[in-house]
């Protein structure tokens, strides 16, 4: 089955009654967990983006606190990648460049302060540096005042 374009879907949705739309959205939310999470964000959290960002930052900090510390660098790498995947999923839900920069800077800050030996693992070093590059790239699209604030935060991460 070939998927229809967004324009075709939008046109068709405009012709449906509200009850039919509700049924479609509920069916879509039952189909995949990500659909349900996105719908939850759009319905309950999109109006308070700052609160959502704060809750995701808290979640990131909690997840880093739960990383098993020990001899297994493999488990640490796996856990860090999992946290980054979840962070990127939340970034996708917001669709906001400011939220993306804030969450990625927070991720890098917590990773840097976590005591995880990043320099002992090429994969972790590349992951960390990749996120820094990603932040710098997105920073170019933001307003100058915001750029200045976030650049200072990046410098604090790098200097410590």
Which has more confidence, 1 or 147? 147
Is residue 133 in some structural domain?
Answer: yes
**What's the pLDDT score for residue 70?**
72
Is residue 65 in some structural domain?
Answer: yes
Average pLDDT over residues 32-47: 90
**What's the pLDDT score for residue 149?**
87
**What's the pLDDT score for residue 52?**
95
Gap between the Cα atoms of 90 and 31, Å rounded:
19
**What's the pLDDT score for residue 146?**
80
Range of the domain at 107: 48-159
**Whether the predicted pLDDT of 61 surpasses 70:** yes
Gap between the Cα atoms of 67 and 76, Å rounded:
6
Output 1-5 pairs: Cβ under 8 A, ≥24 positions apart: none
Is residue 75 in some structural domain?
Answer: yes
Is residue 72 in some structural domain?
Answer: yes
Count of domains for the chain: 1
**What's the pLDDT score for residue 160?**
65
Question: In this structure, how many other beta carbons lie within 10 angstroms of the beta carbon of residue 119?
Answer: 9
Is residue 10 in some structural domain?
Answer: no
**Whether the predicted pLDDT of 72 surpasses 90:** no
Gap between the Cα atoms of 41 and 45, Å rounded:
5
Is residue 138 in some structural domain?
Answer: yes
Is residue 76 in some structural domain?
Answer: yes
Per-residue pLDDT tens digits for 94-125: 999 999 999 999 999 999 998 888 898 999 99
Question: What is the reported pTM?
Answer: 0.86
**What's the pLDDT score for residue 110?**
95
Look over the chain and give the mean of its residue pLDDT values, rounded to a whole number: 90
């Amino acid at each position: 089955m070939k998927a229809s374009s967004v324009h075709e879907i939008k046109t068709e949705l405009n012709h449906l009654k509200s009850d039919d739309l509700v049924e479609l959205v509920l069916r879509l939310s039952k189909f995949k967990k990500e659909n349900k999470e996105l719908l939850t964000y759009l319905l309950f959290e999109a109006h308070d983006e700052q609160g959502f960002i704060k809750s995701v930052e808290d979640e990131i900090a909690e997840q880093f606190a739960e990383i098993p510390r020990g001899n297994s660098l493999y488990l640490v790498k796996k856990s860090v990648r999992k946290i980054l995947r979840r962070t990127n999923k939340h970034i996708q839900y917001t669709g906001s460049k400011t939220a993306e920069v804030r969450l990625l800077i927070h991720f890098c800050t917590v990773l840097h302060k976590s005591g995880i030996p990043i320099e002992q693992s090429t994969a972790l070093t590349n992951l960390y540096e990749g996120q820094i590059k990603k932040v710098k790239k997105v920073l170019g699209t933001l307003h100058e005042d915001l750029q200045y604030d976030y650049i200072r935060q990046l410098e604090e991460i790098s200097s410590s």
